Amino acid sequence: MTQSATLTGKCFCGAVHYAVADEFAYALNCHCSNCRRTTGAAFKPVAGIPRDKLLVTRGADQLLIYGEPMGNDQHCRQCGSLLYSVVRNGAFVHVAMGTLVDAPSIRPAVHIFVGSKAPWFTSPTICRNTRPYSGGAMISRVCGR
């Protein structure tokens, strides 16, 4: 049996880093109101994995835990980034996929709780510009608008 890759992730300011096995059981985009509020986005892309497959490698003392031991959101207390949520009675974590530094082998396969989606969210037109973000670019320059 081959060993899976280990992926890294971190918060926006870099105070908290984690390692997680590339063995996600599922990945999805959640539109529930709790996920929208904790991320400030239309939906939260998450990848689910048993809790023991994720290890905080730096800044564990910088985690801000909101919720109960068996169900919570774990943010960086410095920058506020949501790193992961403890779910399923503490057995799994939902890694916030936007915090992964390395690309996982799994991709979100489904949108859930779309009945709770933000009323302003519709499937947007995709901008033709595929360059990576380099900071400071205006949307009009990036998408030609």
Query: Does residue 7 contact residue 101 with C-beta atoms inside 8 Å?
Result: yes
| pTM above threshold 0.85 | no
Give me Rg for the CA atoms of the chain: 16
At residue 143, does pLDDT exceed 50? no
At 14-59, the pLDDT tens digits run 999 999 999 999 999 999 999 999 999 999 999 999 999 999 999 9
CA gap 64, 74 in Å, rounded = 6
Could you tell me the CA-to-CA distances from 46 to 26, 87, 137, 143 in Å, in that order?
8, 12, 27, 27
Tell me what pLDDT residue 132 has: 59
pLDDT tens for each residue of 73-126:
999 999 999 999 999 999 999 999 999 999 999 999 999 988 888 999 887 655
